[in-house]
Chain A
Amino acid sequence: MQNPHAPIHNEWNETVRKMRSGNRKAAELLYKKLFHKVFGFAMHRVGNRATAEDITQDIFMKLIEKIDLFDSAKGGFLVWFWQLARNTVTDHLRKARTVSFSDIETGDEEKSFDYPDHAPALEDAAATNETLRSVYAALASATPEERELFELRFIADLPYSEIAAVTGRSEGTLRVSISRLKQKLKDATHHV
C-alpha cells in the first residue's frame, strides 16, 4: 500500500538532499520550517525559556553536524530529526538531573527533572493562557505514552505515518490513541 504521506516525505528528503549538496537556501528553508516547532517542543519539555533556547541551539547544531549521517533509504527526514531532537532534550535533562542529585544534600531538590514520568512544565507566561493551562492540566493526569503523542502530534506537527515510525506503533493504533487524547483534552478545555 502506498504511503499517503509520501509527497511530504519526499519533499523533506529533497530539501535535505539539496542542503547536503551545498545549497544554502535549502538549509535556510529547513531551518524556517523547523525552528518554531523545535522551540515549542523544548518549551513544552522544560517550561523555561532560557533552557529551551539552549536546547534549540543544541538541536540545530547537531542537525548540521549529523545531517551527513541521515540515510533517506532508511526512513523520512522528520522521523530522523525528531529522534535527534528528543535525544538532545533527554541528554539535557539527564545532565540537569545529575546536577540536581548533587544538590540534594543542600536541600535543593526542586531543581530535579523527571521526564517522561511527570507532566510537562508550563511557563508562567504561558499559564496565563486559559486553554493551554487546561491542556497541561489534562496532560498532568495523562500517561507518558499520551504525552509523547501530544508532543509529536500537537507540537512537532508530525503526520501519523511519521509518528508511527518514531514510536514503532501501527498507524491504526495511533489514530485511535490520538483520537482518545483529543477527546480528553477537549473535555478538559470545554469550559474555556
Chain B
Amino acid sequence: MFNFLFEQKIKDVIQRVYRPRKQFREKMRTLYLAAWDTHYSSSATVAEKFSPSTFRYFSRGFVTALTLVALTGGITSYADYANVGSASPLYTLKRTSESIRLSFTKESARPTLHLEFANRRLQELKETGTEKARLEELVKDFAQELKQSMITAKVVSSENAAEPMGAPAFQSAPLSFSSSSKIEDEESDKEGGSRRNRERKDREESEDRSSDDRFCEQLKEMADDPNPAIRAVTEEDPIFSDLLEKRCETPIFFISPSHGNAEVSGSARVRVATTSTP
C-alpha cells in the first residue's frame, strides 16, 4: 500500500515537472489532427472507409445502376433490330445504336453501313407524314449518310491505292468481290483465260452501273416525290442537291445502295464493289 502511494507520488511529480508548454501543446495537437486527416482521407483501406451499412448502400446502388445499363442496352438493341420508325419513342435509341455500331465497325465496312443507314432514312421518309421539320431532318440525315458513305469509300480506296499490299481486311474478306476476283484473276492468268476475265469485268461493271442507276433513280424519285413537303426539302438541302448533281450527272463513284466494299478500279474511278448477300 505504502509502495503504491510512493509510486503515485513519483508519477505525479514527473507529470508536473515535465509538463509541456502550452504553445507546444496547441501546436502538436493541430499537427497531429492535420496529419490524421490527411492520412485517413487518402489511404484508409476500402474496408475501413466503408462500414457494413455503407457497403450495403453502395452495392444496392451498383446493382441498380447495372440493371439500368443492361435494360437501356437491351431496349437500344431492340430498337435497332426492329428498325423502329421515326415516330417511335425508341427512335432516339435506334439512332444511338447506329452511332455505336458505326464507331465499332472497321473502316472498310463503313461505306456499306452508311448506305444501310441511308436506306433506313429513306424508308423512314416514306413513312413520315408532312411535318416539315421532321422531313427536313430526315432528308438531311439521308443525304449525310450517303455523303459519309462516299467519303469513307474514298478513304478506303485511296488507302488501298497507296498501299496495294495493304488493306488486308478489304482484300481478305471471304465474301468480298475483290477477294474472289483476285483469286479468279490468278487462275485465269494461269490458264491464259483472258476472255473469261474480260467477261467477268464486263459483268461486274454492268452490275455496278445498274446499282448506280438504281441509286440515282432513288435520289431522283425523292426529288420528284408527289409529297410536296419531301420535294421542297430535297430542293433546299445542299448535300442532297450536291449528291444528285455529282453522283448522277458526273458519275465518279459507283456505290451500291445495298451492299459492297470499296476498291480502286482503274486510275481515277472509285467504286463500291457489290457483294452478294449470303
Contact = CB atoms under 8 A, between A and B. Distances in A.
Interface of chain B, helix or strand or loop or mixed? helix
Given A35-B28, A132-B14, A64 B36 contact: yes
Interface string A48-63: 0100110011001100
Interface of B: 3, 6-7, 9-11, 13-15, 17-21, 24-25, 28-29, 31-33, 35-37, 39-40, 43-45, 48-49, 51
Given A56-B28, A64-B36, A126 B18 contact: yes
B39 A64 contact: yes
A68 B14 CA distance: 31
A164 to B, nearest CB: 17
A36 B19 contact: yes
A44 interface: yes
Contacts of B6: 182, 185-186
B13 A129 contact: yes
A31 B40 contact: no
B14 A155 contact: yes
Contacts of B36: 19, 24, 27, 64
A129 B15 CA distance: 12
Contacts of A64: 32, 35-36, 39
Contacts of A19: 36
Contacts of A129: 13, 17
Contacts of B9: 131
Contact of B7 (A49, A68, A154): A154
Nearest to A185: B10
B14 A31 contact: no
Interface string A110-136: 000000000000010110010110010
Given A19-B36, A36-B18, A132-B17, 8 more contacts: A20-B44, A21-B44, A31-B29, A49-B21, A68-B43, A135-B10, A155-B14, A182-B7
B32 to A, nearest CB: 5
B13 A131 contact: yes
Nearest to A17: B48
4 pairs of A and B residues whose beta carbons are closest in the complex? A40-B18, A43-B18, A126-B17, A39-B20
B228 to A, nearest CB: 71
Contacts of B31: 57, 60-61
A157 interface: yes
A191 to B, nearest CB: 14
A131 B10 contact: yes
A103 B235 CA distance: 97
Contacts of B15: 36, 40
Contacts of A39: 18, 20
A101 to B, nearest CB: 29
Contacts of B51: 21
24 contacts: A19-B36, A21-B48, A27-B32, A27-B33, A31-B33, A35-B20, A35-B29, A36-B15, A40-B15, A43-B18, A44-B14, A44-B18, A53-B21, A53-B24, A60-B28, A61-B31, A64-B35, A68-B45, A123-B17, A131-B10, A135-B13, A153-B7, A154-B11, A182-B3
